[in-house]
Structure 1
């Protein structure tokens, strides 16, 4: 089988909803070709946002209940999506919603149980992409780089500005990738303080003034100078970046401006020059719609690196697309998690399969 129709599900740490992408993948002449056929973003209700945000401090019984209920919710949404578009996908590939990610303690949990998705959607489901890699001594993250390697190799760097910003690039004939810093988790949280879901196009940040003392504090944690493999979880962000922002007396606009400078600076620190001549950066994720942030990233990187923001569909749904692709690789029994990225003892085929 060389053509697959797959629904990819992605829920980010910024709690802005679930991305659904119906994708077609074709393997032709030793290359993968992708098409995004249908998409939708499901906005969470305030009740669901509260449940997901509070999940890390709830009881074990309540967490298991949420794990199952959220899987049922995802399955119902997939069934509605399939009916709406009159499609017949081969299977669903779901990232799940991350509640814990502490790979140094062999702890990582993405909820949205695959059995419940399969039962509701009446489709096979591939999920739980991280656990095998962690069992093999890896970080279980980032997972997207194999997709960057096989689908977006025309770019020198792939940067996703999601709840957490991460980068992927090929160097010395191997793929490297790691989490850079918190991104929309910071920007959205600060914007929420003035009753905005997010800072549209960076309007508030553009009106602010970068605060040097706050910028230095955001850049201070040792994580930023530790070599990869490395990855970030919500727990680290709460303990460091968000704590620093909460302790600052700066205005909302000044905080947003400073966070944008922090993100741009850390991205600059993270990108090695790989060759002579112009370098290309593919910028995706919700943060790529923040015009002020995108401009700052370009300014910090300089003229030798060209930042490219693709069509809005790819900006919004690249991660859902790639998780659909990870599902394809799992379905074919091919490696979808790279030891060069995660630090595991070997490349591996991550993902549990549930057949509804």
Structure 2
């Protein structure tokens, strides 16, 4: 049975809330609906940065001390506003939506301690939008010993199956953290985080230029890569670990570039992200024949060019070129995961998160 789902995603880059409509039976995608976006204001973003800083001290995943309570309220309101604006703009009635998939805002991800914390009050959101909300997708996986990330691979597989391509294919999502899904036919699904995505680069740009990110990779295109710095950074033990594996946005925060120009710093950090993505090839069963890039990194022309050079002769394409939405893909995924969750289908697998057995997940909040 086909369902109409809205997916909501607020990623590690703290830029805003992505909204997307999808029609699916939880196994394949019948059609894409429209997508939308609600940016966080500067004050909301500042609040979220504070929440990230305070979350490192959390010992219970449902505790919301101090600024975390305020940040959770802001996240919930932003998501309610995002849904209201989206449904009004596209004249979508709430009765026509079966489920909303609400990821929330990750403030802490420490799977080794069985802790993953996404803030956002699903019960309050469901009441505000008058639609059932599925949330807390990652908790069951982490509680069972999985990494709790990445969670989009089952959606990537549904998309890739519609392409009908030969040979291994990788979807690489470059958000704050970069992650890959390796797909080889219907059976082989491997996924993991590869290392930094845009987080280090965005933080560096903000610190040195006041710009939130390197638009189209223009700053990096003008700079010189510090190859010795990249080589040192690549010695981090994470890169040698086999998949599945996952990261927190700030796991590489200590790797700061000092006393470099904005252009050279941007070039070096972009090269680091690409080196980390390419490093995964040696840990996969076969070298991928094609790479499909989604997330904010898909719009960074310098990052794409560097990746092409790194993985040749494999092809590298932006998700948009295939009719996928690089911007909406994660929001669509949480709509898809909500539909799977409603049907009790697995959301994560041993080769995607390291969970001992395929796990379903998600909790429903009703209006």
Regarding TM over 0.5, the answer is: yes
Residue aligning to 1:106: 114
Pair 1:40 & 2:23 matched: no
Uncovered stretches (5+) of structure 1, i.e. residues with no partner: none
Residues 220-259 of structure 1: per-residue CA shift (max 9 Å, x gap): 2111111222100023132xxxx2224x221111111111
Residues 25-47 of structure 1: per-residue CA shift (max 9 Å, x gap): 257xxx61342221112111111
CA shift in 2, pair 1:104/1:332, >3 Å: same
Number of residue pairs the alignment of both structures matches = 345
Residue aligning to 1:138: 146
Residues 93-125 of structure 1: per-residue CA shift (max 9 Å, x gap): 011110000100111101112111101111110
After TM superposition, where is structure 1 displaced by more than 6 Å over at least 4 residues in a row? none
Q: In 2, distance between residues paired with 1:126 and 1:286?
A: 25
TM superposition shift of 1:19:
0.8
Residue aligning to 1:176: 190
Residue aligning to 1:87: 92
Secondary structure of the residue that 1:236 maps to in structure 2?
A: coil
Residue aligning to 2:179: 166
Q: In 2, distance between residues paired with 1:125 and 1:104?
A: 28
Higher mean alpha-carbon deviation, 278-287 vs 289-298, is at: 278-287
The 8 Å contact of residues 47 and 67 in structure 2, kept in 1 or not, is answered as: no
RMSD over aligned CA atoms reads: 2.0
Secondary structure of the residue that 1:311 maps to in structure 2?
A: helix
Q: In 1, distance between residues paired with 2:235 and 2:259?
A: 18
The 8 Å contact of residues 8 and 334 in structure 2, kept in 1 or not, is answered as: yes
Residue aligning to 1:270: 280
The 8 Å contact of residues 169 and 176 in structure 1, kept in 2 or not, is answered as: yes
Q: In 1, distance between residues paired with 2:286 and 2:44?
A: 46
TM-score by length of 1: 0.91
TM superposition shift of 1:174:
3.0
The 8 Å contact of residues 73 and 117 in structure 1, kept in 2 or not, is answered as: no
CA shift in 2, pair 1:50/1:323, >3 Å: same
Match of 2:342 among 326, 331, 356: 331
The 8 Å contact of residues 146 and 338 in structure 1, kept in 2 or not, is answered as: no
Q: In 1, distance between residues paired with 2:277 and 2:74?
A: 37
Residue aligning to 1:309: 318
Uncovered stretches (5+) of structure 2, i.e. residues with no partner: 55-63
Residues 42-68 of structure 1: per-residue CA shift (max 9 Å, x gap): 111111101111113447143234324
TM superposition shift of 1:71:
1.6
TM-score by length of 2: 0.89
Match of 1:252 among 253, 257, 262: 262
